[in-house]
Amino acid sequence: MRSTKSGWILAATYLCLCWTTGGQAAGQDEAQEQQLKEALRRKTPSEHYIDPASFFRLHGYVTLSYTEAGRELGAEPGGESQILVPGLSPRTGRNEGGFKNDAALFVGGEPFEGVGTVVEVHFVGDAADPVLTEAKIVWDLAGKEGGSAAFRLVGGRYWWPFGIHNDEWFSAVNSFSLLSLAAISVVPAHYNEMGLMGEGELKLGDQAGLNYVFSVGNGVPGFGLKDNVSNTQFDANGNRALTGRVGLVLCSSLNCELGLSASRSRLRSGEDQRIAASEPGHYAADFTAWGPDLSLKWKAIKLRSYLYGSTEDLERAPVDKLSRSGLTVEPSYTLRRTGRRLEMVSLVGRYSRADEETLGGPKLRMTQLGIGANGQITRAFRVRLGFVSQKEGKDLPDLDNDAFSLGLTAEF
Domain range for residue 83? Answer: 34-411
Residue 8 lies in a domain: no
Going by pLDDT thresholds of 50, 70 and 90, the confidence category of residue 2 is: very low
In this prediction, residues 306-333 reach a mean pLDDT of: 94
The residue with greater pLDDT, 28 or 350, is: 350
**Lowest pLDDT segment from 101-110, 218-227, 357-366, 389-398:** 218-227
Residue-level pLDDT at 131: 83
Region 73-100: what's the mean pLDDT?
A: 71
CB 279 within 8 A of CB 306: no
Mean pLDDT computed over 378-399: 90
Please state, as a whole number, how many other Cβ atoms lie within 10 Å of the Cβ of residue 240: 16
Rounded Cα distance between 246 and 292, Å, is 10
**What is the DSSP secondary structure assignment for residue 210, as one 8-state letter?**
E
The CATH number covering residue 192 comes to 2.40.160.10
Q: Half-sphere exposure of residue 386, counting CA atoms within 13 Å on the CB side?
A: 32
Looking at this protein, which amino acid is placed at residue 186?
A: V
- What is the domain count for the chain? 1
Q: What is the mean pLDDT of residues 91-110?
A: 81
Phi first, then psi, for residue 362 (nearest 5°) are -70, 155
Between 278 and 378, the higher pLDDT residue: 378
The sign of the CA dihedral 261, 266, 271, 273 is negative
Mean pLDDT of 136-141: 92
Residue 320, Cβ density class (10 Å: 0-12 exposed, 13-18 middle, ≥19 buried): exposed
Q: Is the peptide bond before 77 cis (omega within 30 degrees of 0)?
A: yes
Q: What is the DSSP letter of 77?
A: T
174-228 pLDDT, tens per residue?
Answer: 888 888 999 988 998 888 899 999 999 999 988 899 999 999 999 887 777 665 5
Q: What is the pLDDT of residue 375?
A: 92
Instruction: Please tell me the distance from the alpha carbon of residue 209 to that of residue 257, in angstroms, as a whole number.
Output: 10
In a domain, 383, yes or no: yes
Which tens digit of pLDDT belongs to each residue from 392-402?
988 788 888 89
Q: Is the dihedral of CA 341, 177, 327, 242 positive or negative?
A: positive
Residue 84 lies in a domain: yes
* Cβ 289 vs Cβ 263: under 8 Å: yes
- How many other CB atoms sit within 10 Å of the CB of residue 22? 10
Q: Is residue 27 part of a domain?
A: no
Does residue 25 belong to any structural domain of this protein? no
pLDDT for the residue 227 = 59
Q: Which residues contact 393 (CB under 8 A, 6 or more apart)?
A: 362, 363, 364, 365, 366
Task: Specify the pLDDT at position 234.
Answer: 62
Query: To which H or E segment does residue 324 belong?
Result: strand 321-336
When pLDDT is cut at 50, 70 and 90, the band that residue 170 belongs to is: confident
Q: Is residue 2 part of a domain?
A: no
pLDDT at 98 over 90: no
Average the pLDDT over each of 72-86, 256-270, 359-373 and give the range with the smallest value. Answer: 72-86
DSSP-assigned beta bridge partners for residue 157: 135, 194
**Helix or strand (DSSP H, E) at 11:** helix 2-40
**Average pLDDT score over residue span 113-137:** 83
Residue % of the chain over a pLDDT of 70: 82
Taking all residues of the chain, what is their mean pLDDT, rounded to a whole number?
A: 83
Q: Which candidate, 347, 361, 359, places its Cα nearest to that of 321?
A: 359
pLDDT tens across 3-49, in order? 555 555 555 555 544 454 555 555 555 656 666 777 888 888 777 66
Whether residue 26 is contained in a domain is answered as no
CA dist., res. 241 & res. 288, Å (int): 10
Give φ, ψ of 94 to 5 degrees. -125, 170
Query: Could you tell me if residue 137 is inside a domain?
Result: yes
